[in-house]
A = this chain, B = another copy of it.
Amino acid sequence: MRKLEQFVRLSPADRAVLTRAAAERVRNFGPRVDIAREGDRPKDVHLILSGWACRYKQLEDGRRQIVSFFLPGDICDLNVFVLREMDHSIGTITPVAIADLSRDFFEEISAGYPRIATAFWWESLVNSAIQREWTMSLGQRTAYERMAHLLCELFFRLRLAGLTRGDSCDLPLTQADLADATGLSKVHVNRTLQELRAAELIGLRDKSLRIPNLERLMNAGLFNANYLHMDHEGRQLDSNE
């Protein structure tokens, strides 16, 4: 997705490379399917072109935790080139199109396209920050706060990728997905969403989320957007497109 470029503002040459990379070796997956499994030894990095996916881990007894969400434009695993095998799985939520990026591509990038390299670097650091914030959420926030926080985060990320319409966006997650992501039971997710609706902090039906007053939802979730680093240094390196 060309919205990945949102991050650093790229030159036409940069765009060309990305567009080419995104076009080569595209694979399509149905919904609710695994792209990679714990224990695999993948050779490529994946770029999500469209659709939602998630990273998840599972215990032997079946307990499952969604550890992060991948939205269009996100890059799955830069670790591939250093770590031997996957310590988690990647599964789709909706139908997903991904581009497989080779090691060669990354070497080409880091050699000749510093702005893209910085953007990738930034991507991966923000992902770490998001992971920390999830730790915070799961450890300290109440169910209500946690849900509000997650919805804020997704909305912000989608907006950055140009995937919102005014105060609304798609939310293809089921309540079971939200449960796996927030560490709550399905039943409690349902009740928490009802509370949020009752407080008129969200409107949610037909896989579409509306946030009438983002400010108030942020307060409810103790949401501070600093960890998304949307003011990243890259902006200074902008090329004059």
Contacts and interface: CB of A to CB of B under 8 A. Distances in A.
Nearest to A119: B82
Interface residues of A, number: 49
Contact of A84 (B64, B68, B78, B232): B232
Interface in A32-80: 38-39, 55, 57, 59-61, 63-65, 67-68, 78-79
B67 A135 contact: yes
Given A84-B233, A183-B138, A229-B84, A57 B125 contact: no
A182 interface: yes
Nearest to A55: B132
A66 B57 CA distance: 21
A85 B225 CA distance: 12
A60 B182 CA distance: 21
A149 to B, nearest CB: 11
A125 B82 contact: yes
B125 A83 contact: yes
B136 A135 contact: no
Contacts of A122: 82-83
A237 to B, nearest CB: 10
A209 interface: no
Contacts of A167: none
Nearest to A128: B128
A122 B134 CA distance: 22
Contacts of A234: 82
Given A67-B135, A132-B131, A232 B83 contact: yes
Interface string A101-140: 0000000000000000010011001111101111110111
Interface in A213-233: 222, 226-227, 229, 231-233
A70 to B, nearest CB: 14
Contacts of A126: 83
A88 interface: yes
Given A61-B222, A83-B232, A138-B183, 7 more contacts: A57-B132, A57-B136, A63-B140, A79-B128, A82-B122, A88-B227, A131-B135
Interface of A: 38-39, 55, 57, 59-61, 63-65, 67-68, 78-79, 82-85, 87-88, 118, 121-122, 125-129, 131-136, 138-141, 180, 182-183, 222, 226-227, 229, 231-234
